[in-house]
Structures are given as structure tokens and as C-alpha cells.
């Protein structure tokens, strides 16, 4: 495999649609409120993709160093684990990605707030720094929070609350009355993707002391945790769409929950969690579909 393909593999392109779901959702709400600005949208998408790629490089690097990615791992082979990229190469890639992403974040903040709102610019730039730190320390370092059952919380906060509510605020410089509801939906669905990953890797993670919630809850209880994530996400979406009701086409985004409910049935019935790998793609793409349909519903 060439170096280019190795870097593409390390970037984990299949995770990228999920990462922009929060931006699409916040942008959909901004469009409905008359706040949408195309440059903010494009810069927000580019910045979010940068954070996601950085996180993927860091996960490859951190899990590789800790020996979590080994022959017992079920999912796709990692670049470091497979020897396609060396540790120093991934570290250099993380540094370059961080610089590019923070530059994009700076452009986004400047365009959104200009020179007049220094305090808001300061707050959002520090949110960017926090996102960089969160992306790296998920698996890197002795205190990696992904090894202490805190990954779910961080995914919920950064993919849901920060992604949706933060992007909406970049457009409107205000906090919408109901924007927390779709933020909860995207945050919980994103957490469900991570939970599926952790369910699949539960046994191998336990062997290397990676204490995810799946490891702590065990094979059966983690299934009901997954059920709760999907059901609460659905309820939050229904309430938001009802409160923002402008016509029946506004409920079209709920179509995305059909494969999500089928996923829940699959999870509850499965006996071998290692077979759940295809379900990650199903939930990630369903989350992206929800955000895409929410955006598209503005034009129906």
C-alpha cells in the first residue's frame, strides 16, 4: 500500500459523515431562522472535518502505542498496527492537522464575529483548543479518557452540544429556544456509534485494560444502554420537530430512524458482538441522513 493510501486509511473516511452531522443540524436550524451564511457553513464543515481527522490520527497513534490495536481486534486494520505508518509519521501528521484545523477555526471565528466581539472570539477559539485536546487525549497519554469510560460523555458533548449549538450560535450569535433538542439527538446518536464500536471490541478492550462503558456494563446491560441512546434521541427529535412544526414535510427527517430502530433490534438479538461492525456504518449514515433531511426540509 502506498503512503497516500496509508494516510487515507488512517483518516478513516467512513467516520467523516458523522462528524459533519452536528454542523448540518445547527445550520438547518439557522436557515429556518434566517441566519444562514454560506461562508460560515463551509468553514464550519472544513473545521469539523479537520478535528475528526485529527482525532482519527490520534486514536490510531494512541491505541497503537498502548497495544490496544492488536491481532485480536475485530474492526478494520489500523495504519500503525499494520506497520503502514510509523509512530513519528502519525505524530507529525497530528501536528500538521492541528495547525491547519486551528487556522480554519480562526477564519471561521473571524468571519462569524469580526473584530467587534473579542469575547465571543476568545471563547470559541478556546473551544477549538479544547476540541484539539479532546481529540488527542481520547487515547493518547497515561490519562487517556477513552480508557476510563468517559468517551461517551465527550462524544455527546462535542458532537452534539458543541457541534449543533455551537454552529447555530456562529450564525445567529444567539441561542435558539429549542436548539438543545436536536443537539441531544445528534449527541446521543453519535454516542451510539461509539457504543457499537465499544461493544464490538469489549472483550479485546478488557484484556488491555481499556475500560469503556461496554466493558463496565457487560454484554447484556450495554445492549439496553444502546436502546436508551436511540429511543431518547428519537423522542428528542420528535419533540423538536413538533415544537418547530411548519407543515407535515417537516417530519421527513424521522425517516432516518427506521434503520436506527432496526439496529436496536439487531443489537438486542445479537449473541456475538463482534458481528456488529457493519452496524456502525448504519448508525453513522442514519445520523447523517437525519441531519441532511432536516436541512433539506427547509426547501420543501
- pLDDT averaged over 10-residue windows placed end to end, the chain, 300 residues: 78 90 97 95 96 90 68 61 80 94 95 87 92 89 84 94 96 92 98 95 87 93 97 98 87 97 96 91 97 92
Range of the domain at 105: 3-295
Q: What is the pTM of this model?
A: 0.92
Residue 26: inside a domain:
yes
How high is the pLDDT of residue 124? 93
Task: Spell out the SS3 assignment of the chain.
Answer: CCHHHHHHHHHCHHHHHHHHHHHHHHHHHHHHCCCCCHHHHHHHHHHHHHHHHHHHHHHHHHHHHHCCCCCCCCCCCCCCCCCCCCHHHHHHHHHHHHHHHHHHHHHHHHHHHCCCCHHHHHHHHHHHHHHHHHHHHCCCCCCCHHHECCHHHHHHHHHHHHHHHHHHHHHHCCCCCCCHHHHHHHHHHHHHHHHHHHHHCHHHHHHCCCECHHHHHHHHHHHHHHHHHHHHHHHHHHHHHHHCCCCHHHHHHHHHHHHHHHHHHHHHHCCCHHHHHHHHHHHHHHHHHHHHHHHHHHHC
pLDDT, residue 241, reads 95
Based on the structure, what is the number of domains in the chain? 1
- Residue 300 falls within a domain, yes or no? no
pLDDT in the model for residue 69 = 56
pLDDT at 74: 57
Answer yes or no: is 30 within a domain.
yes
Amino acid at each position: 500500500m502506498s503512503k497516500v493510501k496509508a494516510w487515507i486509511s488512517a483518516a478513516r473516511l467512513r467516520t467523516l459523515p458523522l462528524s459533519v452531522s452536528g454542523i448540518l443540524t445547527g445550520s438547518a436550524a439557522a436557515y429556518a431562522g434566517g441566519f444562514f451564511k454560506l461562508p460560515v457553513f463551509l468553514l464550519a464543515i472544513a473545521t469539523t472535518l479537520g478535528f475528526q481527522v485529527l482525532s482519527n490520527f490520534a486514536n490510531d497513534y494512541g491505541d497503537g502505542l498502548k497495544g490496544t490495536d492488536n491481532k485480536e481486534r475485530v474492526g478494520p486494520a489500523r495504519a500503525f498496527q499494520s506497520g503502514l505508518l510509523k509512530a513519528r509519521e502519525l505524530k507529525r501528521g497530528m501536528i500538521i492537522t492541528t495547525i491547519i484545523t486551528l487556522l480554519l477555526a480562526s477564519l471561521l471565528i473571524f468571519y462569524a464575529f469580526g473584530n467587534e466581539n473579542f469575547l465571543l472570539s476568545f471563547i470559541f477559539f478556546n473551544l477549538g483548543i479544547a476540541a484539539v485536546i479532546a481529540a488527542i487525549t481520547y487515547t493518547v497519554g497515561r490519562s487517556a479518557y477513552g480508557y476510563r469510560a468517559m468517551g461517551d460523555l465527550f462524544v455527546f458533548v462535542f458532537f452534539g452540544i458543541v457541534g449543533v449549538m455551537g454552529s447555530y450560535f456562529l450564525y445567529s450569535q444567539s441561542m435558539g429556544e429549542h436548539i438543545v433538542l436536536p443537539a441531544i439527538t445528534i449527541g446521543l446518536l453519535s454516542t451510539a456509534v461509539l457504543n457499537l464500536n465499544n461493544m464490538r471490541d469489549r472483550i479485546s478492550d478488557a484484556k488491555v485494560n481499556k475500560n469503556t462503558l461496554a466493558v463496565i456494563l457487560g454484554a447484556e446491560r450495554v445492549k439496553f444502554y444502546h436502546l436508551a441512546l436511540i429511543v431518547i434521541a428519537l423522542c428528542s427529535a420528535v419533540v423538536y420537530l413538533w415544537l418547530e412544526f411548519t407543515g407535515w414535510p417537516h417530519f421527513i427527517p424521522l425517516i432516518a430512524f427506521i434503520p436506527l430502530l432496526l439496529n436496536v433490534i439487531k443489537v438486542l438479538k445479537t449473541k456475538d458482538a463482534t458481528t456488529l461492525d457493519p452496524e456502525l456504518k448504519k448508525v453513522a449514515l442514519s445520523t447523517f441522513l437525519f441531519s441532511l433531511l432536516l436541512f433539506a426540509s427547509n426547501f420543501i
